[in-house]
Amino acid sequence: MATSMLFQMRRYCALVPCLTVVRRHYASKPPSVFNKFLLQFNQRFLEVEYLIRLGNWFKTRDVRRKNVFYVYAQKKYGDNVAAAYCILKLGGGFRFAGQTQWFRADTKGKFSFDFVNTPDCTIEEIDLSSTLINHDGLHNLTSQHNLRSLHLQGCPEVDDWFLSRLHVFGETLQELNLSHCPRITVGGLAALQHLRKLQKLDISSLPRLQNPGLVHILVEEMLPHCTVTGAEYDQGLQIQTDN
């Protein structure tokens, strides 16, 4: 990506002399209003395009950095501490099994390292709502074989590929919140069939579901012991009637 950004910078710099030559050409005679506008528009367009690409590059880099696999923490402190550290670095929270205390970062991203003193405790509940967790970051959590509750409300990077990897929690996960995740489709929800212990599932406000009511029915058939919330049956029936 860095190479791409360097290419864009070179492209922008290469066009500057061309614009300068055009300005010199029109300097010999009074430029028309249209030519003035065209020159200004071209320059502004290049500047805006460069800023947009630069912003996208920084955003992508931030997502990658937040979802790295914490090899050092895993080797020195074990899987449980590495998973806890990943959650807090992402801005989420968790609760160890058998405890009532939740560990969370404050508004400045700072948090207590007391969890390092309990390396043998596994995580039972995780709240990663509104964080940048993606399928790469999930690799830090797959060691938590006692996970019962996972909240992913409003996570912009959670997609179908992410859901396909949740099968590792198939024997323990009982509650899953996927509401307001903009990248989830019906194909991703189909992968949840491996979560045999799931009891509660929230799939409300998923913009890529074209027929939420029908999806609700299909998910309930796929997971007969699970209570599905977030989409009413008549949403799908209304669409069928309109067609």
Summarize pLDDT for 75-115 with one digit per residue, the tens: 999 999 999 999 999 999 999 999 999 999 998 889 999 99
Q: Which residues of 7-23 are buried (b: 16+ CB within 10 A; e: fewer)?
A: ebeeeeeeeeeeeeeee
Q: Return the number of other C-beta atoms located less than 10 Å from residue 91's C-beta.
A: 19
Summarize pLDDT for 128-149 with one digit per residue, the tens: 999 999 999 999 999 999 999 9
pLDDT for residue 16 is more than 70? no
Q: Which residues of 34-52 are buried (b: 16+ CB within 10 A; e: fewer)?
A: eeeeeeeeeeeebeeeeee
The secondary structure of the chain, three-state, reads: CHHHHHHHHHHHHHHHHHHHHHHHHHHCCCCCHHHHHHHHHHHHHHHHHHHHHHHHHHHHHHHHHHCCCCHHHHHHHCHHHHHHHHHHHHCCEEEECCCCCEEECCCCCCCCCHHHHCCCCCEEEEECCCCCCCCCHHHHCCCCCCCCEEECCCCCCCEHHHHHCHHHHCCCCCEEECCCCCECCHHHHHHHHHCCCCCEEECCCCCCCCCHHHHHHHHHHHCCCCEEECCCHHHHHHHHHHC
CA 113 to chain centre: 25
Q: Tokens 């670095």 sit at which residue?
A: 89
Tell which CATH classification among 3.30.1360.170, 1.10.3720.10, 3.40.50.720, 3.80.10.10 matches the domain 74-242: 3.80.10.10
Least confident span in 20-29, 159-168, 199-208: 20-29
Summarize pLDDT for 205-238 with one digit per residue, the tens: 999 998 888 999 999 999 999 999 986 655 555 5
Q: Where are the domains of the chain?
A: 2-65, 74-242
* Alpha carbons within 13 A on the beta-carbon side of 108: 3
State residue 116's pLDDT score: 94
State residue 15's pLDDT score: 47
Q: How far apart are CA 96 and CA 75, in angstroms?
A: 20
